[in-house]
């Protein structure tokens, strides 16, 4: 079997199963199984494939057909042009969160020494990306899960920002409540924001493979925001900013909470689909 035949075989299996992105999924999984880039996959279509690599590709395909997301199969996902490792305690970084990165960078001076607190860091995608893009900044990356923090720390090492990345195991930012207040320039977070009753309506790809801790926002879906905003009021200096990823229907409720806690200059940023995705605010 050749590289091209293997790719087409997997692609056609995915098409028959009516996966959303059969061509892309096949390219990602087959190229990973062969240890080559996607561009090489296209250029080396006539090269022979070993039985071992073919078996690996078939194993990847079977997992995908069983509903496992590509990122979970490979143990990594691209975010903001960088490779991020994942583990069972972390959410899969998603393109919508890149809207938050763009918003923070737009409102910052990348050459400044900024102190950032990332609450619920998971893979560290937000924290590590901001450190890579703003090379004099430092980040305290908070997560309740030690397993998630280990993953985030590996990603910080992978992208050579570990000297400016401080992992902290904490229930939200409670471990910082006794520290000196008003020292952070940014608080950023993509908190759990799915209503508990809505979890059962999520796709099996999410419910079977993403950690519930990172999804469940409580009865209202707002529990994480309530805690983070109250803590951010203490953590941020006057003029410091907060950036929160939100669900498409949560802007009004989160904005009210921000105004209640001394935040102004509130701005809603939409994602590429036109949905409300990020709330920005400034501490008075």
Count of the separate structural domains present in the chain: 2
Predicted confidence band of residue 200 (pLDDT cuts 50, 70, 90): confident
The dihedrals phi and psi of 67, each to the nearest 5 degrees, come to 105, 0
Q: Among 53, 74, 95, identify where a domain stops.
A: 74
Domain membership of residue 46 as a residue range? 3-74
Tens digit of pLDDT for each residue in 110-139?
Answer: 889 999 999 999 999 999 999 999 999 999
Condensed to tens digits (0 to 9), the pLDDT of residues 58-74 reads 999 999 999 999 999 99
> For 180-188, what is the mean pLDDT?
93
Q: Which of 28, 49, 74 is the last residue of a domain?
A: 74
Q: Are residues 33 and 64 in the same domain?
A: yes
56 and 104 housed in the same domain: no
**Do 100 and 178 share a domain, yes or no?**
yes
Tokens at residue 138, please? 């430092």
- Can you give the pTM of this predicted structure? 0.92
CATH number at residue 86: 3.40.50.150
């Amino acid at each position: 079997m050749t590289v091209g035949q293997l790719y087409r075989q997997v692609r056609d299996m995915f098409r028959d199963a009516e996966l959303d992105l059969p061509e892309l999924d096949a390219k990602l999984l087959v190229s990973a199984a062969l240890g080559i880039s996607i561009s090489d996959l296209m250029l080396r279509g006539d090269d022979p494939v070993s039985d071992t690599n073919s078996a690996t590709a078939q194993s990847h395909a079977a997992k995908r057909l069983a509903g496992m997301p590509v990122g979970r199969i490979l143990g990594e996902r691209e975010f903001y042009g960088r490779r991020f490792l994942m583990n069972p305690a972390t959410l899969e970084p998603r393109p919508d969160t890149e809207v938050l990165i763009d918003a923070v960078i737009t409102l910052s001076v990348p050459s400044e020494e900024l102190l950032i607190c990332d609450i619920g860091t998971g893979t560290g995608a937000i924290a590590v990306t901001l450190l890579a893009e703003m090379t004099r900044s430092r980040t305290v990356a908070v997560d309740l899960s030690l397993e998630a923090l280990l993953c985030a720390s590996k990603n910080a090492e992978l992208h050579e920002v570990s000297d400016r990345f401080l992992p902290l195991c904490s229930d939200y930012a409670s471990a910082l409540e006794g520290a000196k207040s008003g020292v952070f320039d940014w608080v950023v977070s993509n908190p759990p924001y799915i209503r508990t009753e809505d979890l059962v309506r999520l796709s099996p790809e999410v419910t079977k493979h993403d950690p519930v801790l990172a999804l469940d926002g409580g009865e209202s879906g707002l529990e994480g925001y309530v805690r983070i905003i109250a803590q951010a009021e203490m953590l941020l200096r006057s003029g410091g900013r907060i950036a929160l990823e939100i669900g498409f229907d949560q802007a009004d409720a989160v904005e009210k909470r921000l105004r209640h806690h001394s935040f102004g200059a509130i701005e809603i940023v939409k994602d590429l689909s036109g949905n409300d995705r990020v709330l920005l605010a400034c501490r008075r």
